[in-house]
Amino acid sequence: MATIEFRGIEVYAKRLAELGPRAEAACKYAAYPAAALVIEAVKANTPVDTGDLRDSEKLSPFRVKNGFIYTQLSFEGKDRKGVANVLKARALESGTSKRKKKPFVRPAVNRVREQAETLMQQGLDDYFAKIMGK
């Protein structure tokens, strides 16, 4: 549902090229705290009726596809009434023909975007310092 792109990466791209096969590990090391920050922001912003929707929010393991490292926020399982949490989340976020939209994912992501980018930068700097001694 939400994407954060890491901009101003020229300096980091050069350093990552120097790491070679360890570049993927460096990116995951940097991205994990940012992903945790984002999911906590979304959880804090999720409307709570029974708590089933908030408790169903999970991050998938990091994956690499087409040169991008990513994770996804998902809503797993069903609530107490048997309604799929992913459908409930979609109806809240985007609205339906009978329900006005009440976005909670996008505003949370937007609110912590800069913090997440800063965490990724700090994570890469830390990783480079550990590995390269710089």
pLDDT digits (tens, 9 = 90+) for 45-103: 999 888 889 999 998 888 888 878 888 899 999 989 899 999 999 999 999 999 899 99
Is residue 60 in some structural domain? yes
Is residue 3 in some structural domain? no
Number of separate domains in the chain: 1
Domain around 19: 10-132
Closest CA to 119 of 44, 30, 43: 30
Is residue 99 in some structural domain? yes
Q: Supply the pTM of this predicted model.
A: 0.79
Kindly write down the DSSP assignment for every residue of 85-124, as one continuous string: HHHHHHHHHH--SSS-----HHHHHHHHHHHHHHHHHHHH
Is residue 111 in some structural domain? yes
Report residue 9's pLDDT band, with 50, 70 and 90 as the boundaries: low
Higher pLDDT, 107 or 28: 107
Is residue 75 in some structural domain? yes
Is residue 16 in some structural domain? yes
Report residue 111's pLDDT band, with 50, 70 and 90 as the boundaries: very high
Is residue 33 in some structural domain? yes
Is residue 1 in some structural domain? no
Q: pLDDT tens digits for 14-27?
A: 777 777 777 788 88
Q: Is 58 left (phi over 0), alpha (psi -120 to 50) or beta?
A: beta
